Structure 1
Amino acid sequence: MGTTGDAWRSESSTARRHLYERLADHVAARITFGDISPGALAPGDLAREYGVSLQTVHKALRTLREWGIVRTTSKGVFVLPLHE
């Protein structure tokens, strides 16, 4: 189990959502509230922290990229600064 607890894994709505979608929501919230700062984000660290596979993390990061929250380059994944 990861260090962030398992509350993010629970279903809060009647519509069933994939684990990577719930992970993306939780990471996005942490970015929004400043728990994760702009800069490099290591997928392996997220996998260990949340107790999920790298595949789940990569799917969540793809979602975050589609939302414009992270950017992926050949050097890694980067959290983008929030626009205020």
Structure 2
Amino acid sequence: MKETIKGVPVTETQIEQWAEEAEAGYDVAAMKKRGRGRPGRGEAPSQVVAVRFTPEELATLDARAEARHVTRSALIREAALA
């Protein structure tokens, strides 16, 4: 049976290289560094809070955010913390 990753065959040479890399050790700090997804806003993970708006309210928020060149979330956050 051939080993595959996402349907692509894996060679013995690749497996040997990965094994050598693992035996040499990894930089844990670099591996823990966040790469994908939204950037963090602080040290701790942010919490999502749901707020309901009517379509008209959202249109008003979006127009204000666009006029100020900020995101909808930034505008709401600023108003909530004012």
What TM-score, normalized to structure 1? Answer: 0.25
Work out which of the two has the higher radius of gyration on C-alpha atoms and give 1 or 2: 2
Greater relative CO, 1 or 2 (CA 8 Å, sep 6+): 1
TM-score, normalised to structure 2, is 0.25
Greater share of residues in strand: 1
More helix per residue: 1 or 2?
A: 2
